[in-house]
Structure 1
Amino acid sequence: MKSFLAITRALSDETRVRALLALRQGELCLCQIISLLGMAPSTVSKHMDLLYQAGLVERRKQGKWHYFRLAGREAPAAAQKAIRWALDALAKEPLVKADTRQLCCIRKKNLEEVSACYRGN
């Protein structure tokens, strides 16, 4: 029951769903997700933490960079099904398509450049 509630809570917010769907193209640095969503770093971090706690994403740290990716085969079955459902149900949504286009531009920049944008440097 706890897993189900954590997953539904994580998917009950548009920002978290956008972040989850952004990861369908592969791993992203937190700074890239922040750039995509246009929100404060602390806010995006909290959203990503909820996705992580629900088992929907995996995370790792490399130096000063924090990376996220969709949960893999080791994730609970409920999390895997929720990810597939979200990807299938929302792939053609206009906002998701716009995010995909924006991510193409964000991915072309180096991480220092991306993180400087939201730090105001």
Structure 2
Amino acid sequence: MVWSRELPKPPSSVRVYRDSLGHWYCSFVVATVTEVLPETGRNIGIDWGVKETATTTSDAHDLPHAQHGKTAAAKLAKYQRMMARRRTPKNRPDTAGYRKARRAAAKVSKKLAR
């Protein structure tokens, strides 16, 4: 098992789950103490959007959209068309080509969600 970091205390609950690609994840609920940071007197507002990734009250910190969604959406449509062409009749097991296209579509869909 690979740990990204040590837990500060023993967990009160653990959730183990598997995504559509077969990757396993677990999340822990751990009690922590909140640290109050010193006041700086500076504020910034952030608006997460669709057209722009993030728009802030300071123009220096705006994040333009990287347009990864357009290319990923085109790939997803391609794999969904492949799935439609390779669809099997009812009450028959899926073909290897259909399973391959379904896995590729799931992978691109996961990338879009991230």
TM-score normalised by L of structure 2 = 0.26
Which gives a bigger RCO, structure 1 or 2 (Cα 8 Å, sep 6+)? 1
Greater percentage in helix: 1
In terms of Rg, which structure is larger?
2
